[in-house]
Chain A
Amino acid sequence: MARMLTYAESIREATENEMARDSSVMVLGIGVDDFKGVYGTTTGLVEKFGTDRVVDTPISEDAMTGVAIGAALAGLRPIHVHIRMDFLLLAMNQLVNIAAKGRYMYGGEVCVPMVVRAIIGRSWGQGAQHSQGLHSFFMHVPGLKVVAPSTPYDAKGCLIQSIRDDNPVVFVEHRLIHYQKGHVPEVVYTIPFGQARVLSEGSDITLVGISHMAAECLRAKRYLHDMDLRAEVIDPVSLSPLDIDTIAASVEKTGKLLVVDTAWTACGASAEIIVQVTERLGNAKTECRRMGFAPVTCPTTKNLENHFYPDAQKIASVACRMVNGDRVSTVVDRIPDFSIPPEVSPESVEFRGPF
């Protein structure tokens, strides 16, 4: 029997492994030592490693990010945990002006080995300020690596890789996949940066799903299968650096690319992936589309929230029309009803906190 862990457990296991292996690894963040353990991702660490290495911080994101960077300059390997990605907005100066640039602007004299864990808090009416996927902000900045694994297996390997890397890494987690189970080997392993994962092969269209959208793309693939369409589903895993080779090779085969992000599309990861693929293939005939949040603030009420997010049905609908050659309007904000029955993803139906 394969060893099954949830995504959250796999993060915890990776952290525990690395803390045991390397005494310079520390965890800090609001509530990392409390009984909820940031959705179980830090549970038990303070008992094992003590309060010097597992630090509950004051509510001071800007300062604590600077403190983490300072500690990294001195040789520690901090993992700074943020229960909502939105709170990183308070830490932007330190992250963008120091963490990202320290190595370069000091001429290679120093390095900043830190991990910033940022959880995207979708679901249960998280609303305007608790749901944002801001990974593209960080992709924009040279000197930051950005990963967004979507499976428990990749979560463990990517986190270990991120901790061992000598550079700042923004590690993006989606709350709806925290409770998803998957195979996670007990052995310690790493997943290299810049390596996308083909989750499922197909020949008619390439679906690239970022973070939780990888799961929605797999679900969309099942709908498409019923209509005799074979989708190839790719999880980029690493957003910066991006593995364009894998995605472009797939698009060369299918001729169609639909990128689905758990974020807005404007200037986003989806735009970046499409441009890089087009630049690579130099083929104007490749049809590319992107989907993401509706271009508005996230509403709390459920019926609007359902329209705000892409889901398997909407993805299948757009993919189907792309393959069948129907012209889809360039901005895929509003998708007319489609013949497949609506099905909200079970993880968002089942989710009842904790918050």
Chain B
Amino acid sequence: MVENFYRALYRIRRVEQEIARVYPTDIIKSPIHLSIGQEAVSVGVCEALQPSDVVFGTYRSHALYLAKGGDLKKLISELYGKVTGCAKGKGGSMHLIDTAAGFMGTSAVVGTTIPLAVGYAYALKQSGKDSIVASFFGDGAVEEGVFHETLNFAALKGVPILFICENNGYAINSHQSKRQPMDNICERARVYGMPAERIEDNDIFEIYERVERASSEIRNGREGPRLFECMTYRWREHVGPNEDFDAGYRSRSEAQPWFESDPLKTLGASLEIDRRGQIEVDVEAEIYEAFVFAEESPFPDEDELYTDVFTEA
């Protein structure tokens, strides 16, 4: 398990570092929202899910996409605007999708996918499947009315869903305390009658264990929904490849404890050196290949502009 976690964390971290490294060359011609520092949430949750389970995410979803098993080559190609991308180059970083992996798509508009996830879960339950859905969103999204409207419905209908709030403390450059009178996202879920737990410290094992327990309970007939508020921290700027500790809205010292408790670091240190080395070599090769693949892939033809407006019979 530790090896799997480490591989997944390392892979996501390194993919995003590579994205950040090439970004200044302008080969990626669209905005990117990096999850560097927050990978443990996606990995912890997705390791506890089944392949047939489904997730919905936000514009900050490179990590979730990879953790859920999304195709790496298609991810990089999408960022490069290539026809081999997961959305043929038409969606970009904010609109990732890999239906084969149960990654059902992301939106650039805050809060938008929360009810989509519930609708999907409702349909799964209706059709008697034992799959469940996880809806990922940020601490800012709970300020949208749609969050509350959706929780109300999900609880009313006992929909098999996990709400995963990735609380990184900020919405763009605004701290949670500047936007919400109380630091009580879990309580807000409980008033609709669903169990809700906060998981501190970006703790991948805690996230895995609690999500694993909750999801098997839901699968075994105990009704959803549940909410988990996973405390984490974004290391880079809201959008773009750089750090922004000099921008004035937060300090490096605030980030320091998160750097120190970085699960990638602690897990890495606990692995036997050869095993760890092998994992890293394998992952690096895969990443290198994916970037080469993306680079060598063609851009979509002009005709592609007009396809997929409608589903054709």
CB distance from B69 to the nearest CB of A (A): 23
The digit string for B222-250, where 1 denotes a CB below 8 A from any CB of A, is: 00000000000000000110000001110
Of B93, B94, B172, which is within 8 A of A34 by CB? B172
When the two chains form their complex, are residues A304 and B90 in contact, meaning their CB atoms are under 8 A apart? yes
Q: Does B70 contact A (CB under 8 A)?
A: no
Q: Are B109 and A304 in contact, with the CB atoms below 8 A? A: no
Closest 8 pairs (CB-CB, A-B): A125-B30, A301-B81, A300-B92, A301-B89, A58-B143, A299-B90, A34-B173, A129-B108
**A61: chain B residues within 8 A (beta carbon):** 144
Shortest distance in angstroms between B310's beta carbon and chain A's nearest beta carbon? Answer: 10
CB distance from B261 to the nearest CB of A (A): 27
- What separation, in Å, do the CA atoms of A354 and B247 have in the docked complex? 13
B60 close to A (CB within 8 Å)? no
* Structural contact, B249 and A59, CB atoms closer than 8 A: no
Contact (Cβ within 8 A) A59 B92? no
The docked-state distance in angstroms from the alpha carbon of A261 to that of B93 is 27
Given A30-B172, A31-B174: A304 touches B300 (CB 8 Å cut-off): yes
Q: How far is the CA of A58 from the CA of B247 in the complex (A)?
A: 21
A124 to B95, CA, bound (A): 15
Chain B 152-186 interface mask (CB, 8 Å, partner A; 1/0): 00000000000000000001111000111000000
| Residue A297 interfacial (CB < 8 Å) | yes
Give residues of chain B (138-154) contacting chain A, Cβ–Cβ below 8 Å.
140-141, 143-145
Are A301 and B145 also in contact (CB < 8 A) when A36-B173, A124-B29, A128-B108 are? no
User: In chain A, residues 167-217, which have Cβ atoms closer than 8 Å to a Cβ of chain B?
Assistant: none
Report the nearest A residue to B24, measured CB to CB.
A352
Contacts of A126 in B (CB 8 A): 30-31
Interface size class of B (residues with CB under 8 A): 35 or more
Partner of B305, one of A30, A63, A308: A308
Contact with B along A58-83 (1 / 0, CB 8 A): 11111100000000000000000000
Whether A56 contacts B174 by the Cβ 8 Å rule is yes
**Residues in B whose Cβ lies below 8 Å from that of A89:** 109
Given contacts A59-B143, A303-B302, A355-B31, 10 further A-B contacts (CB under 8 A): A59-B144, A59-B171, A60-B144, A89-B109, A128-B91, A294-B305, A299-B300, A300-B93, A302-B81, A353-B240
Partner of B31 from the list A36, A59, A125, A301 (CB cut-off 8 Å) is: A125
A86 at the interface (CB under 8 A from B): yes
How far is it, in angstroms, between the C-alpha of A294 and the C-alpha of B304 when the chains are bound? 12
A307 at the interface (CB under 8 A from B): yes
Q: Interface code A30-66, partner B: CB below 8 Å = 1, 0 otherwise?
A: 1100111000000000000000000011111111000
Establish whether residues A303 and B300, one from each chain, have CB atoms under 8 Å apart when the complex forms: yes
Distance between Cα atoms of A241 and B81 in the complex (Å): 40
Least Cβ–Cβ distance between A187 and chain B, in angstroms:
34
Which among B30, B141, B304 is the interface contact of A59 at CB below 8 angstroms?
A: B141
Residue of A nearest to B31 (CB): A355
Residues of A within 8 A of B140 (CB): 58-59
Per-residue CB contact flags for chain B residues 71-85 toward chain A (1 = under 8 Å, else 0) read 000000000011001
Contact check, A301 vs B94: say whether CB atoms are below 8 A apart. no
Within 8 A of A (CB), among B114-144: 140-141, 143-144
Query: Could you tell me if A125 and B171 are in contact, using CB atoms closer than 8 angstroms?
Result: no
Name the distance in Å between A65's Cβ and chain B's nearest Cβ.
Answer: 11
Residues of B contacting A295 with CB < 8 Å? 309
A295-353 at interface with B (beta carbon < 8 Å):
295-297, 299-304, 307-308, 333, 352-353
Q: Which of A274-295 contact B (CB under 8 A)?
A: 294-295
A-B contact count (CB 8 A): 131
Chain A contacts with B in 1-56, Cβ cutoff 8 A: 30-31, 34-36, 56
Inter-subunit contact A296/B305 (CB<8 Å): yes
With A56-B174, A303-B81 already in contact, the answer to whether A294 and B306 are too (CB < 8 A) is yes
CB nearest neighbor in B for A301: B81
Contact B143 A300 (CB under 8 A): no
Distance of B110 from chain A, by nearest CB (Å): 5
Q: Which residues of A contact B305 (CB under 8 A)?
A: 294, 296, 299, 304, 307-308
C-alpha spacing A300/B89, complex, angstroms: 7
> 8 Å CB contacts to B: which residues of A77-101?
86-87, 89-90
> What's the minimum C-beta distance from A42 to chain B, rounded to whole angstroms?
13
Least CB distance from A110 to B in Å reads 24
Is A127 part of the binding interface, using a Cβ–Cβ cutoff of 8 Å? Answer: yes
Complex: how many Å from CA A34 to CA B141? 19
User: Known interface pairs A294-B306, A296-B305, A301-B82. Does A34 touch B174 (Cβ–Cβ under 8 Å)?
Assistant: yes
Q: Is the CB of B247 within 8 A of A35?
A: yes
Distance to closest chain A CB from B27 (angstroms) = 10
Could you pull out 20 A-B pairs where Cβ atoms are within 8 angstroms? A30-B172, A35-B173, A58-B140, A58-B179, A59-B110, A61-B144, A62-B145, A87-B109, A125-B30, A127-B91, A128-B95, A129-B109, A297-B90, A300-B95, A302-B29, A304-B89, A304-B304, A307-B305, A352-B26, A355-B239
